[in-house]
Structure 1
């Protein structure tokens, strides 16, 4: 006998009870899926953002703080490392590329980062999507998400510790700390990188130094007087060959201002470890971003484990509730199953009808839970990207499918309990009930 018409009739008769069981199971699955998928997406996104930062050197202090400021553009008050170290690294045979990173100014909530044109183009790996890279003081290159336009003039403001304005918005605190008389002209825009640098404004580090009265690190500054940048910056589209000041490494001035961080691209793995060991002493700190990320991932993993355990306990409670509900539903349908037995249906048929109905509900709950988990992960990833600038690509993988399959298997075993009770039921007792 075909059991499926009877199963469908049972499910239709349950009305609100069947959707409630499906929803309970879906919530149990969706919570676990969202936690696992989001944590994995966050790891991948944060690791991808650090790919361009092989070795970071700074003054002794917190590696985590320096990493967050340098890689994830979360400016903070950091001690400065001697600027002369830039020339030392520039001449080091183990170093392929080196760039300073300086921050502290903002505009409309976007951090202004002083560096070199070579680093802005990530050493010839990135080409501007609009315009060109900066080639003189007073020029700026925008990240993909910065809402300024080409040829706009950007007036910087001194950042205030603890004050974080929403990107693209200005406030009274920022307006009160403007560097009047200074401005950057937008000459280019970078493509989307999927990192917090998409919200940064990149300028020559010489401009950052000069705004704060530190000179520009070049010998020409000692004889030329005030830089033209102090007045209005070069016009957009100006030719690099016409610029009077040279920017970038090496710095040949008598004094090279300090910087919060230095990014080094070593020529080899062996050279990277030698540089890391050398600059972990003598008043400097050096580390690979992966070192700090591993410890952060460890803490993130601990939090995830706690959430997973909580989710597992929640799942157990939901399964227990579902089992009780299934038993109650089977008890309410005793008369129907007794009638089936009375008209000639074998015990095994009744047991199969009960079991298939319950397994169908559990399976639908698991499938719905995977969908809810995927939607929740996408929503949370969007919020994280909005807050941090990280590009997250969450996906449902084997790690999420296995718990769902496991729960479906356990649910099918649980469904044997009411099915066995229906199998053992006496026809007369069922009819009387």
Structure 2
């Protein structure tokens, strides 16, 4: 006998419960799916943002803050490293390229970062999407999300570490501390990187130094940009990005500059620690979602037990008319399994949708582009829940299977 017509009739008779039960299960399942998907996207995007920062060197202090400030532009005041180190690194046979990173100014909320033309082009990997890279002092190249147009000029404002400004707007602090005698002209725009540097305005580090009365790091008769700098007059910088020639050179440099008042760090080192913390939090949240799923599954099963109890006489009549006991077991099991499976499938979609929405919020806050992609682990998680739900659905089915025809007719 085909149990599907009976299953269809029973589900139709449930009316609003046939919709409420899957939705209840979906909300619980979506928690676990959303947490897993969000954590995965955060790992991928943060690792991608650090790709161009092979080795960071700074003054002794917090490695985490050095990475957060330099790579993710979470602007905080950093101790300065001796500017003479720029020349030392430039002449080191283990170094392929070196670039200073200098902060301190903002405009319309966008950080103004002083560096070299080589690093602005990411060691030759990037070409300007519009215009060109800066080639002299007073020129600027903007990220993809910066509102300035090619040829537009602006005056930077001094900003202390940790200040937050609304993008595209002049905050009160900017108006108060603006460098009125300094003007930059936008000469290029970089392609979208999917990192916080899409919101950065990159200018020659010499211009940043001169804006703050520190000279330009070169001899008086030199007007070039970037290394070599004059070791006697080069101002200190918050961070130095080093591109080693080989992996072995990277570890050698890291060891050498972890002493003498400096620290050297691979951004991946810091990210591993952050990932561990995020992973620990994710594990707790996922465990909580499993407990929530279990409680909801139990509640749904109790509800199904109640409903099948109300239908006991109907099933007994079918048995009396010749339906085998296995037929009743299949009907009850399919009804419960279908409701739980539909809820799990909806939870997968809800979880992915929630992860995509949260990703947009994180992107607007941090500048990290969290590209949403459905993951295999999400599907396996939901399949596991479906299997668990199908197993638990046997409970009401087995209880009805054991009811005799006479007991069912008298109920």
Task: Report the TM-score, using the length of structure 1 for normalisation.
Answer: 0.93
Q: Which residue of 1 aligns with 2:351?
A: 373
Give the CA deviation at 1:183: 1.0
Give the root-mean-square deviation of aligned CA atoms. Answer: 1.2
Q: Which runs of 4+ in 1 moved over 6 A?
A: none
- SS, match of residue 21 in structure 1: helix
Query: How far is 1:260 from its partner?
Result: 0.2
* 1:421 pairs with 2:399: yes
Instruction: Using the TM superposition, name which of 389-398 and 25-34 deviates more.
Output: 389-398
Give 1:42's aligned residue: 42
Residue aligning to 2:184: 184
**Residues 78-113 of structure 1: CA distance to partner in whole angstroms, max 9, x if unpaired?**
110000100111111100000000001000000000
> What residue is the counterpart of 1:131 in the other structure?
131
Shift of 1:253: 6.5
Question: Does the 8 A contact of 1:133 with 1:188 survive in 2?
Answer: yes
Q: Contact 1:40 / 1:394 at 8 angstroms: preserved in 2?
A: no
Q: Provide the rounded CA distance (Å) in 2 between the counterparts of 1:346 and 1:424.
A: 12
Whether 1:295 and 2:273 are equivalent positions in the alignment is: yes
- Give the Cα separation in 1 of the matches to 2:230 and 2:176: 35
Residue 321 of structure 1 aligns to a residue whose secondary structure is: helix
**1:320: Cα distance to partner?**
1.1
Which of 240, 255, 264 is the matching residue for 2:242?
264
- 1:335, CA displacement in angstroms? 2.2
CA distance in 2: counterparts of 1:85 and 1:162, whole angstroms: 27
- Is 1:305 the counterpart of 2:280? The answer is no
**1:309-334 CA distance string (max 9 Å, x none):** 11111111111111111111111211
**Bigger mean CA deviation after superposition, 330-339 or 185-194:** 330-339
Distance 2:284 2:269 in 1: 23
Conserved 8 A contact 2:84-2:231:
no
2:228 corresponds in structure 1 to 250
Aligned to 1:346: 324
CA distance in 2, matches of 1:393, 1:339: 56
CA apart distance, 1:431? 2.9
CA distance in 2, matches of 1:187, 1:375: 39
Partner of 2:22: 22
Structure-1 separation of matches of 2:362 and 2:60: 30
Pairwise CA distance, 1:395 = 2.5
Aligned to 1:399: 377
Residues 273 and 253 of structure 1, relative CA distance in 2, 3 Å threshold: closer
Q: Distance in 2 between matches of 1:88 and 1:121?
A: 22
User: Within 2, Cα distance between the matches of 1:52 and 1:78?
Assistant: 20
Q: Using the TM superposition, name which of 209-218 and 401-410 deviates more.
A: 401-410
Corresponding residue SS for 1:71: helix
**Alpha-carbon distance in structure 2 between the residues aligned to 1:280 and 1:163:** 30
Look up the match of 1:238: none
Q: How far apart in 1 are the matches of 2:162 and 2:121?
A: 30
Q: Give 1:394 shift.
A: 2.8
1:281 to 259, 271, 277: 259
Aligned to 1:227: none
Moved more, 327-336 or 45-54: 327-336
Residue in structure 2 matched with residue 150 of structure 1 by the alignment = 150
Q: CA deviation at 1:428?
A: 3.2
The residue number in structure 2 matching 1:237 is none
Q: Is the 8 A contact 1:76 1:104 kept in 2?
A: no
Aligned length: 411
In the alignment, what sits opposite 1:85?
Answer: 85
**1:98 aligned partner:** 98
Mapped to 2, the partners of 1:201 and 1:370 lie a distance apart of 40
Q: What is the CA distance between 1:28 and its match in structure 2?
A: 2.0
**1:163-201 deviation digits (Å, cap 9, x = unpaired):** 201222221121111011111000000000010000000
Contact 1:108 1:167 in 2 (8 A): yes
SS in 1 for 2:242: strand
Counterparts of 1:12 and 1:335, CA distance in 2: 18
Query: 2:307 aligns to what?
Result: 329
* In structure 2, C-alpha distance between the alignment counterparts of 1:274 and 1:254, rounded to whole Å: 26
The question of whether the paired residues in 1 share the 8 Å contact of 2:159 and 2:173 is answered with: no
Could you report, residue by residue, the CA deviation over 1:89-139 in whole angstroms, capped at 9, with x for unpaired residues?
Answer: 111110000000000100000000000000000011000000000000000
**Which range is displaced more, 269-278 or 258-267?**
269-278
Cα contact 2:59–2:79 (8 A) shared by 1: yes
**2:72 aligns to what SS in structure 1?**
coil
Q: Secondary structure at the match of 2:396?
A: helix
Q: Distance in 2 between the 1:385 and 1:86 partners?
A: 33
Per the alignment, residue 211 of structure 2 pairs with: 211
Counterpart CA distance in 1 for 2:262 and 2:255 is: 11
Q: State the match for 1:230 in structure 2.
A: none
Q: Deviations over 1:139-162 (max 9, x none)?
A: 000000001111111110001333
